Amino acid sequence: NTLISLNNIAKVYRGQNVETYALKNISLNINQGDYICISGPSGCGKSTLLSLLGLLDSPTGGDYFIKDVDTKTLDMDKQAELRNLHIGFIFQSFNLIDELSVFDNVALPLTYREPAMSQNDIEAAVKQALDEVEMGHRAQHKPNQLSGGQQQRIAIARALAGKPSILLVDEPTGNLDSKNGDAVMDLLDELNKKGTTICMVTHDLRYAGRAKTQLKLLDGEIISYSEARQVSDHLA
């Protein structure tokens, strides 16, 4: 059950006089249920890798398959379709729309689905996602009436509502104090235990260690990859 397969991926940014190899020789399989943490110093290629995985940008070399679909063969519309179907994004800065209620923020991406979802299906999916992050009672609030930790839980609900194959998570605790950060990480851990595939970028070592797989980048290359099964997994 390989979800994502990267073979020899490269990403070169070409400027007028400079070429920056943001990624080189990246080969990686992500299976359903994986929980991967990508870490490394600033500039090592973490954001670039996450944006390639999320089909927000294309590699300049190599192959990227999602569920055996070669993403190179897809035009922009098809890529967007695949992104909507498979990918849920969670950002450091929540990216919620202040003018919309919590409910409407979570519903918004679902309204762009092809084929269109019925209003009933959208409402059911939003309700389920808000319940999953224990924010059902805040559905009619506006984001600025909530704490940072609560806003991040809404952003997680928005990502979950589309029932993505994988969550791509960029520095989820970067704007949170340690109490709210811990709560958000506990929620991500719990979602993974229930089967959600997660690929996260963080430089916070307290949280990186919780992921089952540690992937370290340096200068655009994978310098280490280790899988540590947690004690609780062995007992389960």
**Residues of this chain that bind ligand ADP (CB under 6 A):** 13, 20, 22, 40, 42-48, 51
**Shorter beta-carbon distance to ligand ADP: residue 31 or 93:** 93
Q: Considering the complex, what minimum distance in angstroms separates the CB of residue 48 from ligand ADP?
A: 3
The first and second tokens of residue 122, run together, are 């959208």
For residues 160 and 194, the answer to whether their CB atoms sit within 8 Å is: no
The least distance separating ligand ADP from the CB of residue 234, rounded to whole angstroms, comes to 33
Least spacing, CB of residue 153 vs ligand ADP, in Å:
21
Residue with token string 């070169």: 12
Cβ closer to ligand ADP: 42 or 120? 42
Contacts 24+ apart (CB under 8 A), 145-151: 146/102, 147/180, 148/94, 148/175, 148/176, 148/177, 148/180, 149/176, 149/179, 149/180, 149/181, 149/183, 149/184, 151/94, 151/96
Q: Which is nearer to ligand ADP, 4 or 49 (CB)?
A: 49
Any idea what DSSP says for residue 118? P
Nearer to ligand ADP, 101 or 175 (CB): 175
Question: Could you give the CA distance from residue 13 to residue 180 in angstroms, rounded to a whole number?
Answer: 36
Rounded to 5°, angle at Cα 203 from 202 and 204? 90
Q: Are 169 and 201 spatial neighbours (Cβ–Cβ below 8 Å)? A: yes
Q: Minimum distance from CB of 125 to ligand ADP (Å)? A: 29
**Is 5 or 92 the residue whose CB approaches ligand ADP more closely?**
92
Minimum CB separation from ligand ADP for residue 41, in Å? 7
